[in-house]
């Protein structure tokens, strides 16, 4: 079988968790390839809502194995808590059901302390990180001084490395950021305890993935964050610190170049972003609350990880075309179509303008969007509630027109339209 990859085409929170859950039925493995517990993936199954930060969303299917790949940064405290959460809901979490890459880096409290100190030092130029220590953990990886999952296997050596790790971070905390140092000796017993619990899960996960594919089994690679938060090709510097793009699934799982099958781009029917950074189609008028919601519904636009209200805006077709190109998206799932019902207008950004010049692409990627103004196309709106609709034919013609325009603007077919968070609230199209 060929690897299937699910990737967010916007600034995260597109509904990847919901889509991965939908596509995981019958998959042997679902593997996260990037990011850490900065991610927040909400999956609704009947009356149960799962909020996952680290474990792959596909693990909610009892027959599917979860993998955290090489490109993931693992906070052991979050991981163990999440493993317990799944167990409390009747799901088995054993080394037969979950594997961690030997090469995945670990997040420790010093990374979180450094994240907070660095944000504070940025003053008014804060990035608005999730505070989970993501940037400092990937910095340690690049600086070749990080702790890795395989370090958990030898407790004596781990204790030594942990002390060195805390001492190095304390130097930065105290001297660069004038923050309080951490007490390494006090933290060590907790980390040794984490190590004992996680040792049986550490593995060479690339081998597992390749063996499963060779046996003809389905493997789904699950991206966290979204295209525009990618460290290299996102809206730098307002990005996360990992490679979130579909091609990163290969290095992020530790597998070689191989045939890749579907690359499913998850696109929200409108646009959201948490944290600072450019957002050309941002909506500030009375439509903002209609897109965001008030927080009364579980899917309203408030961060799963931090609870912050998400910024909202109209779908940005220029950035979507860019996401399709740099990921190699072959098909899309359009989520939250139900939320657009009842809006007085449906608006899609189809190009950008600078002075008299119209751009159908960005000359230098999305790094500096400040001089670009969105050019909109207004489409007819619809009032009907879509949440109970299950077939293309039943959709109001204005909603069909919206989906078709998204396909034209992005150049990629929409194979699923999600009209609610529940497993069955989806319209499948033959594309």
Supply the residues annotated as catalytic.
13, 41
Number of other CB atoms surrounding residue 94 within 10 Å? 10
Residue 265 binds which entry of Mg ion, ligand GDP, ligand IMO, none, CB below 5-8 Å type-dependent = none
CA dihedral 190, 195, 196, 202 (to 10 degrees): 160
**In the complex, minimum distance from the CB of residue 53 to ligand GDP, in angstroms, rounded to a whole number:** 10
- CA angle 75-189-146, nearest 5°? 40
Nearest to 222, CA basis, from 412, 39, 425, 406: 39
Using CB under 6 A, which of the segments 6-14, 122-130, 133-141, 156-164 binds ligand GDP?
Answer: 6-14
**In the complex, minimum distance from the CB of residue 321 to ligand IMO, in angstroms, rounded to a whole number:** 20
Q: Decide if 37 contacts 77 (C-beta within 8 A).
A: no
Nearest to 248, CA basis, from 235, 233, 238: 233
Residues whose CB falls within 8 Å of the CB of residue 409, separated by 6 or more in sequence, listed in order? 317, 320, 321, 348, 350
**Interface residues for ligand GDP in 274-313 (CB under 6 A)?**
298-299, 304
Is the omega angle on the peptide bond into residue 237 within 30 degrees of 0, that is, cis? Answer: yes
Which residue among 15, 40, 275, 277 contacts Mg ion (CB under 5 A)?
40
Contact between 100 and ligand IMO (CB under 6 A)? no
Contact between 418 and ligand GDP (CB under 6 A)? yes
| Cβ proximity to ligand GDP, 15 vs 133, nearer residue | 15
Q: How many residues bind ligand GDP (CB under 6 A)?
A: 23
**Interface residues for ligand GDP in 334-353 (CB under 6 A)?**
335-336, 338-339
Residue 64 binds which entry of ligand GDP, ligand IMO, Mg ion, none, CB below 5-8 Å type-dependent = none
**In the complex, minimum distance from the CB of residue 179 to Mg ion, in angstroms, rounded to a whole number:** 29
Tokens 């906070």 correspond to what residue? 75
| Cβ proximity to ligand IMO, 130 vs 346, nearer residue | 130
Token pair for 414? 């929409």
**In the complex, minimum distance from the CB of residue 52 to Mg ion, in angstroms, rounded to a whole number:** 9
Token pair for 237? 């510097």
Contact between 37 and Mg ion (CB under 5 A)? no
Round to whole Å and give the CA distance between 375 and 315. 11
| Cβ proximity to ligand IMO, 365 vs 396, nearer residue | 365
Residue 210 binds which entry of ligand IMO, Mg ion, ligand GDP, none, CB below 5-8 Å type-dependent = none
**Interface residues for ligand IMO in 122-141 (CB under 6 A)?**
127-130, 132, 134-135
| Cβ proximity to ligand GDP, 266 vs 379, nearer residue | 266
**CB-count exposure of residue 369 (10 Å: 0-12, 13-18, 19+):** buried
Nearest to 147, CA basis, from 174, 107, 98: 107
Region of 92 please: left (phi>0), alpha (psi -120 to 50) or beta.
beta
Round to whole Å and give the CA distance between 323 and 343. 26
| Cβ proximity to ligand GDP, 18 vs 61, nearer residue | 18
Round to whole Å and give the CA distance between 60 and 56. 8
| Cβ proximity to Mg ion, 28 vs 134, nearer residue | 134
- CA 69 to the chain's CA centroid: 14
| Cβ proximity to ligand IMO, 210 vs 244, nearer residue | 244
DSSP string, 324-380: HHHHT--EEEEE-GGGGTT-S-EEEEEEEEETTEEESS-EEEES--TT-EEEEEEE-
**In the complex, minimum distance from the CB of residue 420 to ligand GDP, in angstroms, rounded to a whole number:** 5
**In the complex, minimum distance from the CB of residue 8 to ligand IMO, in angstroms, rounded to a whole number:** 6
**In the complex, minimum distance from the CB of residue 52 to ligand IMO, in angstroms, rounded to a whole number:** 9
Contact between 225 and ligand IMO (CB under 6 A)? yes
Residues engaged in binding ligand IMO (CB under 6 A) = 8, 11-13, 38-41, 127-130, 132, 134-135, 224-226, 229, 240-241, 274-275
Residues at the contact surface with Mg ion, assessed by CB under 5 A:
13, 40, 304
Residues that bind ligand GDP (CB under 6 A): 8, 12-18, 40-42, 44, 298-299, 304, 335-336, 338-339, 418-421
């Amino acid at each position: 079988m060929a690897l299937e990859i699910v990737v967010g085409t916007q600034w995260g929170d597109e509904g990847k968790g919901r889509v991965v859950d939908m596509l995981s039925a019958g998959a042997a493995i679902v593997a996260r390839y990037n990011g850490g517990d900065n991610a927040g993936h909400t999956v609704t199954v009947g009356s149960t809502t799962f909020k996952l930060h680290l474990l792959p969303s596909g693990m909610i299917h009892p027959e599917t194995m979860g993998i955290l790949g090489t490109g993931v940064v693992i906070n052991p405290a979050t991981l163990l808590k999440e493993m317990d959460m799944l167990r409390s809901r009747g799901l088995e979490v054993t080394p037969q059901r979950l594997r961690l890459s030997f090469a995945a880096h670990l997040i420790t409290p010093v990374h979180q302390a450094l994240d907070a100190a660095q944000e504070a030092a940025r003053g008014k130029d804060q990035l608005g990180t999730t505070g989970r220590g993501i940037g400092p953990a990937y910095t340690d990886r690049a600086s070749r001084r990080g702790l890795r999952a395989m370090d958990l296997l030898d407790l004596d050596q781990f204790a030594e490395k942990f002390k060195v790790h805390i001492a190095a971070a304390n130097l930065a905390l105290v001297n660069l950021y004038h923050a309080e140092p951490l007490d390494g000796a006090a933290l060590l017993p907790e980390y040794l305890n984490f190590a004992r619990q996680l040792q049986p899960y550490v593995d060479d996960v690339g081998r597992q993935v390749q063996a499963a594919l060779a046996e003809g089994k389905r493997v789904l690679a699950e991206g966290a964050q979204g295209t525009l938060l990618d460290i290299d090709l996102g809206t730098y510097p307002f990005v996360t610190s990992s490679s979130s793009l579909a091609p990163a699934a290969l290095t992020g799982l530790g597998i070689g170049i191989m045939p890749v099958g579907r690359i499913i781009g998850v696109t929200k029917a409108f646009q959201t972003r948490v944290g600072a950074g450019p957002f050309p189609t941002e909506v500030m008028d009375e439509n903002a609350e209609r897109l965001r919601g008030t927080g009364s519904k579980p899917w309203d636009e408030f961060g799963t990880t931090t609870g912050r209200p998400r910024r909202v805006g109209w779908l940005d077709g220029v950035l979507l075309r860019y996401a399709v190109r740099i990921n190699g998206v072959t098909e899309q799932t359009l989520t939250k179509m139900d939320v657009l019902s009842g809006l007085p207008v449906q608006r899609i950004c189809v190009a950008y303008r600078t002075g008299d010049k119209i751009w159908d692409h960005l000359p230098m990627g999305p790094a500096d969007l400040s001089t670009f103004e969105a050019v909109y196309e207004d489409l007819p709106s619809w009032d009907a509630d879509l949440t109970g609709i299950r077939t293309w034919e039943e959709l109001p013609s204005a909603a069909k027109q919206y989906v078709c325009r998204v396909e034209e603007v992005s150049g990629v077919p929409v194979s699923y339209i999600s009209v609610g968070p529940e497993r069955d609230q989806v319209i499948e199209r033959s594309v």
